[in-house]
Structure 1
Amino acid sequence: MDQFIGEIGALLVGNRSFRGDDPHKGTSKEGEPFGGGWSGPQFVLTHDAPDAPVPGVTFLGDLDSGAAAAKAAAGDKCVNIIGADVARQCLEAGVLDEILVFIAPVMLGDGVRLFHHSSGTNVRLERLSLTHAPRAMNLRLRVIR
């Protein structure tokens, strides 16, 4: 994870993730990307932006402008997508180049399915790397177009 964080230039975040799926909730790291391990521009997709500005966060109402703004802000680094639904939308729009999945030995009972396609569309992927950490596996895949 530490290596990947260094590759991130901007975040494109879904509204649900921004407003509450914080794994650091209730700690001093709450609200900080990667628990404070990263800082930079964040772009949140939402139709209901908060009234008060949030430092370092830009709220946008559509995927096209959000993805373009995040890509421009990232420069030569990558845009990290946080939120399964935003990732699905990016995949369907053809703007997702790679998928990085961290697999931890924990069974979750609910949440948003990763890359749900109601039409059953197949997505071709090429494995770039598979690494093992003490408590997880990391799988990096390239989207084949």
Structure 2
Amino acid sequence: MISKAIYYFSITGNTKSLVEQLDDFTEWDVYDLNDMKPSEVNFKDYEYILIGTMTLGRGVPPAFFRKIFPQLSTMEKRKIGLFGSGQSHYGDEYFCGALDVLEGLLEKKNDINFKLKFESYPTPIVINEFKQLTKEMFI
């Protein structure tokens, strides 16, 4: 059996709502990072991992991610999908910049399968793209 998990951080509910749209949502181990202490986060031996977060201001990840930097930096040989919401009025350089920060941290030792950026509540187009990208992880 394939081991797969979703870890997400959502304040406004936009990132969480995208997770809940997956057709096979119940087949993933899902971790709401809002309900966890940084010391409780363990990426275990999951082969496939989705990490979702929102971006603060000019491309900054929530402080929670700085606190789990040790766990993130030790992950190796994982297939990872990144997704998250942001605000485009900060410009392309900063739009969903938290995902760029995570990608920079994880890409050296892992396979980043996709990085999906969206604004506000996910539209049907974003939801369909997310579903397709997650399916393609297993091809």
TM-score, normalising length: structure 1? 0.33
Give the greater-gyration-radius structure (CA).
1
More strand by share: 1
More helix by share: 2
Q: Which has the higher contact order (CA 8 A, sep 6+)?
A: 2
